[in-house]
């Protein structure tokens, strides 16, 4: 039975990955900060799908907790989903530097370290995959969040290129606005986001798994966002920055 490790596994896209992979017969290692919620999620998935579930409480903003997850990955997994992440309600100049550094720790350093912990075993077995959850924001300019997600996309593509000729895959998943707890946790006002731009987490994961099977290095779920990203790449960066500031949170 294959094993998947998912960070940020108790809500949103991470929880949707857990449901999908459990339904596909994966044993699960679930990683999140809230230990009580994490163990409840693990037990629910075990009862519903009959798969082995393991709860691994960890805050990926802390070195010692990243190290715990690295150690588990070195024991061997078949799929790593780096999903943990968060946003800030304010603009870059209004956010305390400690909060910005914490975001970079979770979005960039943890993704790098966990990917590096998982890949040697996958390469030795010549099978396995890593999905790094980024965002459509990676293709636009909006503060540290979009900058960190742009790093995730570039890192994923670069790592995938290094694995050419193997059966190990690395893919960046770049969803748009998804109905999860993400915006509420960051105290973001999403009233300015048009209703047609919202996606469901389960559909995002279904698209991701399909693209991963097809060997994609970057997955942008839904034709609406494929068009947005395509247009965004054609217009000047300064203009895309103005658009991104006006759309979405206030």
Q: Which residues are catalytic?
A: 145
3-state SS, residue 207 = helix
Strands 53-57 and 79-82: unpaired
Distance between CA 66 and CA 20 in Å, rounded?
25
Do 180 and 12 touch, CB atoms closer than 8 A?
Answer: yes
- Residue 69 tokens read as 């997850």
What residues does 81 pair with on adjacent strands?
Answer: 6, 131
CB atoms within 10 A of CB 124: 11
From 207, 240, 202, 243, select the one nearest 224 (Cα to Cα).
207
């Amino acid at each position: 039975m294959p094993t998947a490790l998912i960070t940020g596994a108790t809500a949103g896209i991470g929880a949707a990955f857990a449901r999908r992979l459990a339904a596909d017969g994966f044993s699960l290692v679930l990683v999140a900060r809230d230990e009580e919620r994490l163990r409840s999620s693990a037990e629910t998935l075990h009862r519903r799908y009959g798969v082995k579930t393991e709860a691994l409480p960890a805050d990926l903003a802390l070195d010692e907790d990243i190290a715990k997850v690295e150690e588990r990955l070195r024991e061997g997994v078949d799929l790593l989903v780096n999903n943990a992440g968060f946003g800030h309600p304010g603009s870059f100049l209004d956010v305390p530097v400690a909060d910005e550094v914490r975001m970079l720790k979770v979005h960039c350093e943890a993704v790098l370290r966990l990917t590096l912990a998982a890949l040697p075993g996958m390469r030795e077995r010549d099978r396995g995959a890593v999905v790094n959850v980024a965002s459509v924001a990676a293709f636009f300019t909006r503060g540290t969040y979009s900058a960190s997600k742009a790093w995730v996309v570039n890192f994923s593509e670069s790592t995938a290129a290094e694995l050419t000729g193997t059966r190990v895959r690395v893919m960046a998943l770049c969803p748009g606005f998804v109905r999860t707890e993400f915006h509420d946790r960051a105290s973001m006002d999403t009233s300015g986001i048009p209703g047609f731009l919202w996606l469901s987490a389960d559909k995002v994961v279904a698209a991701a798994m399909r693209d991963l099977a097809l060997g994609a290095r970057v997955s942008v779920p839904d034709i609406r966002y494929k068009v947005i990203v395509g247009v965004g790449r054609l217009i000047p960066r300064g203009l895309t920055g103005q658009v991104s500031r006006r759309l979405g949170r206030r």
